[in-house]
Structure 1
């Protein structure tokens, strides 16, 4: 269950990272409120997952999900460049996330 909470926290990190792009420096009300809500929810789910998951593993997985998800969102939503090196790097981050999950006793 805590891995599911951590996954949701990571997805919400993607939501708030993308939301930051739409806030215009927190000058637009609705995007700002949605971004702040996603931030709060992401931190809440991360803290709930930390009840039983090791801190280093959980934090690294949370950041990894956010980094990969935000990179993919940037490619899809904002037409950011896709290069072979970027794709290989994303695959390596995903492999690291999977390795941390497999190495965790929780």
Structure 2
């Protein structure tokens, strides 16, 4: 696996932390974690662009972040996604898989 893809996964992980932090952070330590997660997400995404096409990297990052955010809401806070959210999550997943497969063909 290309280091760029690992950085995209890391950027997504940090993204999920800071998005959740923006909604639920109250204490100064929670805000500090949120700010560090914003910096970590930005760093990982920017440096992933060194080894991956920027458009592909950003598209996969946004798709994974959207899917992850809905999963965090459901698993962590009991907010169940609607039918339409589930439908579009499936479309996003198919798009992310397609972009990953296309990038692998270009690298060869």
The TM-score normalised by the length of structure 1 is 0.88
Per the alignment, residue 38 of structure 1 pairs with: 37
**Structure 1 CA distance for aligned equivalents of residues 94 and 9 of structure 2:** 15
- Render the CA deviation track for 1:37-59: whole Å, top value 9, x for unaligned: 01101111111111021111111
Structure 1 unaligned spans of 5+: none
**Aligned pairs, how many?**
103
Q: Which residue of 2 aligns with 1:58?
A: 57
- Deviation for aligned residue 1:91: 1.4
1:37 match: secondary structure: helix
2:86 counterpart of 1:87: yes
How far apart, CA to CA, are the structure 2 residues paired with 1:83 and 1:61? Answer: 22
Runs of 4 or more consecutive aligned structure 1 residues displaced over 4 Å after TM superposition: none
TM-score between both structures, scaled by the size of structure 2: 0.86
Aligned to 2:12: 10
2:74 corresponds to: 75
